[in-house]
Amino acid sequence: MTPIGKSALASFLTATLTITMVSAEPAQRPQLPLSYGHVQQLKNNPEEAKRLGASLPPVAAEPGLPPAAPLRAPAGSAPASFSREQAPEGTWSNLTNIPPGGPYNFGNPLLLTDGTVIIHRTDTPDWYKLTPNASGSYIDGTWTKIASMQAGYGPKFFASAVLPDGRVIAEGGEYNMGGAADWGLGGSIYDPMAGPLGTWTPVQPPAGWATIGDAQSTVLANGKFMLASCCDTPSRAAIFNPANLTWTTTGANKADRYDEESWSLLPDGTVLTIDAYTTQIGGVSCGLGTERYDPSTGKWSSAGNIPKQLSDCNNANTEGGSSPSFEIGPQVLMYNGKVIAFGGTTANVAHTALYDTTKNPPNAWSAGPDLPSTCTLTQDDGTVKPNMPCTMADAPATLLPNGKVLLVASAGKFHTPASFFEYDPATNAFTGIQGTSDANGITSFYVNFVTLPTGQILAVETYTSTIQIFTPSGTYQSAWQPVIDKAPPCVQLRQNYVVSGKQLNGLSQGANYGDDQQAATNYPLVRIVNNNSGHVFYARTSGHSTMTVMPNAPGSTDFNVPANTETGPSKLYVVANGIPSPGKDVTVSSGACPVPVAGAAQGRRSSN
């Protein structure tokens, strides 16, 4: 981003929550991902609203600023190979290409079941697709514009998921079409197989809801999509039926409103959350409560208390304001069977908590390490304060194939710059690492992560045109790999088959943000690598038998062999959360495969 001269706040429009700056250079302030309760308090406290707005850097008006450097991988950067054995130390790489017509501002990256990635152009109905090159490289991949959502639906900070049938659902939005905060009720579902660009179909909201907004969502282990309303009181949640685009009420006994909370799918199929206390519970508006949702009953129940407060629900904060933001950090299920939950407090040191999925509440929680106090806080007047407590008040995190957790933090509430860290569960400690190329000009809530099939992490920034790929160090342990039990020894182009095995969904949902954005990747991809050329092809998967993250759980998925797959001897892999299974020999044929002998695992489905 290009810095501008010192700006003065011209006005704060409490009706629209839009901050307008007076500047010699044209720029627009980013809209803030504020909780519903925080917004109401800001309306009654314009002085704090001014401080909050002035703390953020300006963002160029559309169509966006040109990239600071050519979008090409720097010399010596890691190739985006499908192999993880030769990964260097963690590095960031620019992409060779940018989306057509760009640069634009993007968010909500999602990994489709054919190995492509789609990202949303913020505040518009538009989506773009990244396809890896023949060697499996996303750094050198190509972009195309796909179908757009219905006219008038262009959200920012919304719920999203890839469904077991391969379709994508987008729901709600804190803002719409670049306008005022409205916690909208819009929704749309994308079918990538409906025409050359796919098709989006509008989805009506659950009956009786007043808001969806920047909501929580998850695909449950049974494959059903669960969505919350950010801000309705009493709290509301529903289960989506993709067959007829209808909703069924669920989520009884929820202790407080869902606003700002994060969700984690656990190995037993329940969903874990930490109460943000955006509504009072028995007169208490700030506490230590946690809950689990049981899909078998449709109800929430207590999951015990965390050792230390994680939600930013106190009145004081490091900027001198009096309004709590209720923000809280993400939750990531790790390969050791523990969930690490990150704090969003801004008054002092932010804490973490660890939930051991092998124990029962209330004894499952223990204190994790405090977030580092090495973040920098740029104050409203430009003064820079180093060595401040880091917080993850609205921030992303993702599990890496090496078992560590990549995360982004900032000092104070929505202040620049952003600091990047890795958490290592083996040492229970944080290590500061290099950030994206514009980390000094952004804050933590800008960044969205999604895990690629290569084990790399794609990062996009909601308020900038930056799209970069992180290649982590090290590699996975064999115990974390999917395992193929049955796969066809021969596959024919354009035909459907079945692969089955264990841990095909991985052992985590991968990336987590909380409300605002979800990009889970706990579903199987099928990768076919030609033995002679080394070229990589992804067979579109669908009909996953489960979305569980339970260790050694059996599962299966259908896959369709794309027409452009190179024929001949190849290897077939199942990939989940960037970790591939051991390969299986397979022959790709342009004609009919030989009739399998008795007992052979052909696993063929009907043609596409």
pLDDT band at 241 (very low <50, low <70, confident <90, very high): very high
Inform me whether the pLDDT recorded for 69 exceeds 90. Answer: no
466-507 pLDDT, tens per residue? 999 999 999 999 999 999 999 999 999 999 999 999 999 999
Q: What percentage of the chain has pLDDT greater than the value 70?
A: 82
| Cα 36 from Cα 545, distance rounded (Å) | 37
> Would you call 342 helix, strand, or coil by DSSP?
strand
Inform me whether the pLDDT recorded for 288 exceeds 60. Answer: yes
Q: What is the pTM of this model?
A: 0.88
What does residue 182 show for φ and ψ, rounded to 5 degrees? -135, -5
Describe the crossing of helices 36-43 and 46-54 by its angle, rounded to 10 degrees: 120
Inform me whether the pLDDT recorded for 407 exceeds 60. Answer: yes
Identify the top-confidence range among 28-32, 439-443, 602-606. Answer: 439-443
409-438 pLDDT, tens per residue? 999 888 999 999 999 999 999 999 999 999
If one compares 496 and 80, the residue with the highest pLDDT of the two is: 496
Query: Which parts of 215-286 fold into alpha helices (H)?
Result: none
Q: What percentage of the chain has pLDDT greater than the value 90?
A: 76
Which pLDDT value is given to residue 17?
A: 34
Domains of the chain: 8-54 (no CATH), 102-471 (2.130.10.80), 478-589 (2.60.40.10)
Which pLDDT value is given to residue 86?
A: 35
pLDDT band at 364 (very low <50, low <70, confident <90, very high): very high
Which pLDDT value is given to residue 282?
A: 76
> Would you call 36 helix, strand, or coil by DSSP?
helix
Inform me whether the pLDDT recorded for 7 exceeds 90. Answer: no
Cβ 544 vs Cβ 223: under 8 Å: yes
Inform me whether the pLDDT recorded for 30 exceeds 70. Answer: no
| Cα 226 from Cα 241, distance rounded (Å) | 10
Q: Which of 68-82, 186-200, 448-462 has the lowest mean pLDDT?
A: 68-82
If one compares 315 and 331, the residue with the highest pLDDT of the two is: 331
Which pLDDT value is given to residue 382?
A: 84
Q: Which residues pair with 554 in a beta bridge?
A: 502
Inform me whether the pLDDT recorded for 77 exceeds 50. Answer: no
Mean pLDDT score, 20-44 = 48
Inform me whether the pLDDT recorded for 442 exceeds 60. Answer: yes
Mean pLDDT score, 54-71 = 36
pLDDT band at 318 (very low <50, low <70, confident <90, very high): low
What does residue 180 show for φ and ψ, rounded to 5 degrees? -70, 160
Mean pLDDT score, 314-330 = 74
Closest listed residue to residue 238, CA positions, set 298, 152, 170, 153: 298
Q: Which residues pair with 405 in a beta bridge?
A: 399, 423
Q: Which of 135-149, 451-465, 585-599 has the lowest mean pLDDT?
A: 585-599
Q: Which residues pair with 225 in a beta bridge?
A: 219, 240
| Cα 553 from Cα 539, distance rounded (Å) | 22
Element (H, E) at 542: strand 536-542
Which pLDDT value is given to residue 63?
A: 32
| Cα 43 from Cα 352, distance rounded (Å) | 31
Q: Tell me the pLDDT of the chain averaged across its residues.
A: 86
- DSSP secondary structure letter of residue 478: G
Q: Which residues pair with 467 in a beta bridge?
A: 460
Which pLDDT value is given to residue 324?
A: 84
Which pLDDT value is given to residue 403?
A: 98
| Cα 327 from Cα 514, distance rounded (Å) | 10
CA angle, residues 144, 116, 580, in degrees to nearest 5? 160
Count the residues in the chain: 608
CA 523 distance to own-chain centroid: 14
Inform me whether the pLDDT recorded for 525 exceeds 90. Answer: yes
pLDDT band at 51 (very low <50, low <70, confident <90, very high): low
Q: Which residues pair with 424 in a beta bridge?
A: 429
Radius of gyration of the chain (CA): 23
Inform me whether the pLDDT recorded for 600 exceeds 60. Answer: no
| Cβ-based neighbours of 194, under 8 Å, separated by 6 or more | none
Render 405-465 in DSSP notation, one character per residue. EEEEEEETTT-S--EEEEEETTTTEEEEE---TTGGG--GGGEEEEE-TTS-EEEEETTS-
Closest listed residue to residue 239, CA positions, set 231, 228, 230, 252: 228
Inform me whether the pLDDT recorded for 205 exceeds 80. Answer: yes
Inform me whether the pLDDT recorded for 12 exceeds 70. Answer: no
| Cα 249 from Cα 299, distance rounded (Å) | 11
Closest listed residue to residue 313, CA positions, set 217, 413, 396: 413
Q: Which of 26-40, 338-352, 415-429, 518-532 has the lowest mean pLDDT?
A: 26-40
186-199 pLDDT, tens per residue? 999 999 999 999 99
pLDDT band at 54 (very low <50, low <70, confident <90, very high): low
Cβ 397 vs Cβ 262: under 8 Å: no
